[in-house]
Amino acid sequence: MITGALAALTLFGTIANIPITLFFVSIAFMLAVSKVRKTGVFFIMGIIIVLPGFMAANGIGVGLSIIGWFIAETLASTMKYKDKKAIILSYVLGSTLQTALFTLPMYLSHGEYFVQRKEILHLTDEALQQYLHVVGSWQMYGSMIALTVITSFAGAWISMRILKKHFEKAGMV
pLDDT (tens digit, 9 = 90+) per residue, 87-146? 999 999 999 999 999 988 878 887 777 777 777 777 788 877 877 777 667 888 898 999
pLDDT score of 70: 97
> How far is the C-alpha of 143 from the C-alpha of 15, rounded, in Å?
9
Q: Calculate the average pLDDT of the chain.
A: 84
Mean pLDDT of 153-173: 83
Burial of 122 (0-12, 13-18, 19+ CB in 10 A): exposed
> How far is the C-alpha of 116 from the C-alpha of 96, rounded, in Å?
26
Q: Does the structure show a pLDDT above 60 at 8?
A: no
SS3 30: helix
Mean pLDDT of 19-24: 92
pLDDT score of 117: 73
> How far is the C-alpha of 48 from the C-alpha of 94, rounded, in Å?
13
pLDDT score of 124: 82
Angle of CA points 55, 72, 53, to nearest 5°: 5
pLDDT tens digits along 130-159: 777 776 678 888 989 999 999 999 999 999
Mean pLDDT of 29-57: 87
pLDDT score of 13: 61
Mean pLDDT of 59-87: 92
Mean pLDDT of 3-28: 72
Band (17; pLDDT cuts 50, 70, 90):
confident
Which residues make Cβ contacts (< 8 Å) with residue 39, sequence separation at least 6? Answer: 73, 77
pLDDT score of 6: 46
Q: Does the structure show a pLDDT above 70 at 170?
A: no
